[in-house]
């Protein structure tokens, strides 16, 4: 089964310096009490202007992956980290029992183009942690690259949830298989793709269910992010962002 969420269904908020378009992955699945999708709460596409400071603020019981494609920003948190992140230097915040953080985009730098991914942990009030990875290359061309996953996977960023996060930069066709016990969300970060007879553009996403294999094609190039969740694994909705309350 394929369910398409169009970019124009996203909720928009913020201002000219920090603007967000938020994808609710389960918005078209018929459950008005939860617009998330299993372990995935929401995906926020953010544009942050150079010179902007997103001041110190708290998170709790959210697993937050910062995936940048353009620009850099300095991350500071209550664990003592002060570090620059960017398109090849990604960050995972396991907020757990609570963490504060602040993000600053340099005045002389590029605007930031990114998504913040809010994931539901498998239980509340876990030990907080902040992780960073350095990717070998910006793009994984025509091949799925594992970025984040649970502690039982080989993912470089560990997530306290039964979820996989992968990306790919496609210039031709690429297959994607969804096992029967999983559900997936494919997010188009940039470009245009075709899935079977359906056209998807920047900001569109598609929920993939049942045991199916789909073929993705792009007439030029496209940047994709894929999330695979375990239908039978537990998760909590206590996070203020991932809980989608």
pLDDT score of 105 more than 80 = yes
**Residue 245: pLDDT above 80?**
no
Q: For 127-181, give the DSSP string.
A: PPEEEEEE-S-S--BTS-EEEEE-TTS--SEE-SSSEEEEEEEESS-EEEEE-TT
Look at residue 3 and give its three-state secondary structure. strand
Is the pLDDT assigned to residue 44 strictly greater than 90?
A: yes
Domain spans of the chain, in order of start: 2-230
Task: Give the pLDDT confidence score for residue 26 in this predicted structure.
Answer: 95
Position 137 pLDDT exceeds 80: yes
Q: Which two tokens stand for residue 95?
A: 């907020």
pLDDT of amino acid 47: 97
Q: Which residues pair with 193 in a beta bridge?
A: 200
Environment class of 181 (CB within 10 Å of its CB; exposed 0-12, middle 13-18, buried 19+): exposed
**So what's the pLDDT on residue 107?**
96
| Assigned superfamily of 2-230 | Jelly Rolls (2.60.120.10)
- CA dist., res. 148 & res. 114, Å (int): 16
**pLDDT tens-digit map of 185-211:** 999 999 999 998 899 999 999 999 988
d(CA 243, CA 40): 9
- In b/e form, how buried is each residue of 15-31, taking b as 16+ CB within 10 angstroms? eeebebbbbbbbbebee
What was the pLDDT predicted at 211?
84
- CA 65, 67, 71: angle at the middle one, nearest 5? 135
The residues, ordered by sequence, that sit 6+ positions from 36 with a Cβ below 8 Å of its Cβ are 24, 25, 26, 42, 120, 237, 242, 243, 244
């Amino acid at each position: 089964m394929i369910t398409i969420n169009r970019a124009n269904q996203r909720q928009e908020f913020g201002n000219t310096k920090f603007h967000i378009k938020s994808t609710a992955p389960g918005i078209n699945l018929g459950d008005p009490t939860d617009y998330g999708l299993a372990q995935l709460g929401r995906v926020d596409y953010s544009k942050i202007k150079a010179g902007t400071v997103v001041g110190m603020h708290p998170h709790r019981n959210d697993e937050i992956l910062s995936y940048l494609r353009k620009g850099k920003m300095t991350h500071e948190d209550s664990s003592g980290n002060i570090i620059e992140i960017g398109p090849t230097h990604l960050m995972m915040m396991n907020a757990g029992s609570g963490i504060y953080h602040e993000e600053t985009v340099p005045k002389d730098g590029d605007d930031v183009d990114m998504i913040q991914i809010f994931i539901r942990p498998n239980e509340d009030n876990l030990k907080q942690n902040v992780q960073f990875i350095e990717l070998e290359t910006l793009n994984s061309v025509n091949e799925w690259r594992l970025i984040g996953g649970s502690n039982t996977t080989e993912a470089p960023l560990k997530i306290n949830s039964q979820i996989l996060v992968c990306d790919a930069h496609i210039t031709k066709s690429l297959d994607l298989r969804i096992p029967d016990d999983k559900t997936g969300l494919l997010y188009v970060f940039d470009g245009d793709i075709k899935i079977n007879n359906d056209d998807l553009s920047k900001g569109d996403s598609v929920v993939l269910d049942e045991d199916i294999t789909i073929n993705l094609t792009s007439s030029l190039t496209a940047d994709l992010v894929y999330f695979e969740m375990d239908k039978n694994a537990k998760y909590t909705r206590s996070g203020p962002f991932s809980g989608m309350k």
